[in-house]
Amino acid sequence: MKSRFYRRTLLASAVASGTLICSLWFLPGLLSNGELGPELSISSSEAVRLFEVPPAEFHGPGPAKLASLVNSLGYFKLRMRLMFGAKLYRLATTNASLSDLSQALAAFTCASGVIAPGDFWQLGRHEFGSFNSDPYRMRWSAARAIGRTLQDAGWRVLGASDGKLIVVSQGTAELLLAAGYPALQWTSVKTFADTKNRLTKQYVGTMLERLWRDGFLDDKVKEELTKQYYRLDMRQQRLGIPDWEVRLEQAFPFPDVWTQFEAKLYKDNKLVLPLGNWQSEHAMNARVNSLAMMSGGPFRNRDVLQCKIELAQKIRGREWHISLWTNKIVLEGLKE
């Protein structure tokens, strides 16, 4: 009976210890972000690609390490304190900078790190007034107070998919959120089309252009923008000979992305071979006079001509292509 009692006691202790270790491993992570801000569907390394300046990164306790929980009693006690909300860091200043708040945020959460755009000197120039962590008994209460301080000043705290927190301005936050959610990109497309405000149109267009340039814009959104605002105009240049060209008008801030162009000529809805095959490469937003042109050829009056322009891009290994058709023209005034 004693042997059975000891076995049961040992099993219960093992289960309790395992449960405690699992709690130390998972629970602080669940409480790390709290009510700080929305979660991104992209990682911090992907988000950094959209920063205009190199970022600074701050580190705190971070997520619990299972091996250290099992092998180190001191580490086990440290994580116990964190699990119950202990603050292992203090911030009390009359004028907290962005670097001060970011470091405190890393200390008060169990995030893998806190990232902010700019070096430590640049972040020190952003000031948010007095902050004192002493009145907050729990670390997550202090973290939420930092979040409110940042938000009141027009900054946002976002959670990246790899467990890091990102502190950015409101405009950059909207950019990062749109990077991972095509639905937000479509909302921006609609805003660009509907707004009459020049500044709003410029802001939304620039945001979509940056997402496209850095490889975050959804392929269907690219297709819609290209069909609507990459306008092709085929026209007969001179009467007397078959002289025509395809002109390009851009009504959207398309990105400076290297693009391959291939133009094919169709007569009466049939591909003209071997005539009418042009290829070129240049930036999508290049202000070119024409994408294709031709003078002469076996054409007659009342021939219906049309060009198909095929565009192909590759951004960070991701290929995208689209076919655009010009308007149709009817040749006239040729000398036969």
Q: Is position 335 within any domain?
A: no
d(CA 39, CA 158) in angstroms, rounded, equals 6
User: Quick one: how far is CA 118 from the chain centroid?
Assistant: 18
Q: Which of 168, 195, 220 is the last residue of a domain?
A: 220
Q: What's the CATH code of the domain at 260? A: 2.60.40
Q: How many domains does the chain have?
A: 3
d(CA 45, CA 38) in angstroms, rounded, equals 17
Cβ neighbours of residue 144 closer than 8 Å, sequence gap 6 or more: 34, 35, 36
Q: Is position 305 within any domain?
A: yes
Full-model pTM: 0.81
Q: Which of 120, 153, 179 is the last residue of a domain?
A: 179
256 & 163 share domain: no
Rg over alpha carbons for the chain, rounded to the nearest Å, is 30
- What does each of the 336 residues of the chain score in pLDDT, given as a tens digit? 545 544 444 433 433 344 444 443 444 443 444 467 888 999 999 999 999 899 999 998 877 777 777 788 777 787 778 778 888 889 999 999 999 999 999 999 878 899 999 988 889 999 999 999 999 999 989 999 999 999 999 999 999 999 899 999 999 999 999 998 999 999 999 999 999 999 999 999 999 999 999 999 999 999 999 999 999 999 988 777 888 899 999 999 999 999 999 999 999 999 986 555 688 899 999 988 788 888 888 888 999 999 999 999 999 999 999 999 999 999 988 876
Q: Is position 124 within any domain?
A: yes
19 & 124 share domain: yes
By the 8 A CB rule, do 266 and 307 touch? yes
255 & 289 share domain: yes
194 & 113 share domain: no
Q: Is position 117 within any domain?
A: yes
pLDDT digits (tens, 9 = 90+) for 135-146: 999 998 999 999
Q: Which residue intervals of the chain are DSSP H helices? A: 2-32, 44-48, 66-71, 73-83, 98-108, 120-124, 139-152, 170-180, 182-194, 198-213, 219-229
18 & 36 share domain: yes
198 & 237 share domain: no
Q: Which of 155, 179, 203 is the last residue of a domain?
A: 179
> What's the domain range around 166?
2-179
d(CA 31, CA 259) in angstroms, rounded, equals 46
Tell me the two tokens of residue 97. Answer: 């900078």
89 & 128 share domain: yes
Q: Is position 322 within any domain?
A: yes
> Counting Cβ atoms within 10 Å, is residue 306 exposed (0-12), middle (13-18) or buried (19+)?
middle
Residues across the chain? 336
186 & 174 share domain: no
Q: Is position 336 within any domain?
A: no
71 & 136 share domain: yes
281 & 216 share domain: no
Cβ neighbours of residue 38 closer than 8 Å, sequence gap 6 or more: 158, 159, 177
28 & 155 share domain: yes
210 & 248 share domain: no
Q: Are strands 165-169 and 114-117 parallel, antiparallel or unpaired?
A: parallel
DSSP secondary structure string, 129-168? --EE-TT-SSHHHHHHHHHHHHHHTTEEEEE-TTS-EEEE
